[in-house]
Every structure is written in C-alpha cells, then in structure tokens.
C-alpha cells in the first residue's frame, strides 16, 4: 500500500524529492492534488510503499535540514 510522506507545494519540489528518494533506493510516486488547471503550480503528494515510510521520512528530513 502506498502512503503519503510529504505534500509538496508544487511539482518541481515534488520531482526533486522523488529523485532524492529514488537515489536512496526507495520507490516513490507523485500524485497531483487540487485543481488540475494549476499545472506545475499545484500541490503534489509524494507517496512511498508503506514499508519504506520511515526511511523516506529520514531522507526528507535530512534534505530540509530538520
């Protein structure tokens, strides 16, 4: 089952995080939320398999210096 680990404010941020996770060996997918007419400016959910949530959260936290 896929689990949302982050909601990015826009597609470029989501793509960057997806790439970071994939480089760390974690499967990731993006799912746009909100109004489709916003295009790349709309929010995007970042999802990973449930078994990789903890590792994904660590990578995301590290990338934002948290």
What's the per-residue H, E or C state across 23-55?
A: HCCCCCEEEECCCHHHHHHCCEEEEEEHHHHHH
| Mean pLDDT within 4-19 | 96
Record the pTM: 0.87
| Mean pLDDT within 6-14 | 95
Give the pLDDT score at 50. Answer: 97
Q: Which residue is listed with tokens 């959260």?
A: 57
pLDDT band with cut points at 50, 70 and 90 for residue 65: low
For the segment 20-57, what is each residue's pLDDT rounded down to a tens digit?
A: 999 999 999 999 997 766 777 789 999 999 999 999 99
Give the pLDDT score at 42. Answer: 87
């Amino acid at each position: 089952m896929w689990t949302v680990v982050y909601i990015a404010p826009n597609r470029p941020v989501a793509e960057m995080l997806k790439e970071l996770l994939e480089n760390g060996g974690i499967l990731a997918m993006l799912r746009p939320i909100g109004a489709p007419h916003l295009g790349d400016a709309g929010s995007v959910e970042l999802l990973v398999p449930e078994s990789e949530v903890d590792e994904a959260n660590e990578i995301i936290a590290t990338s934002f210096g948290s």
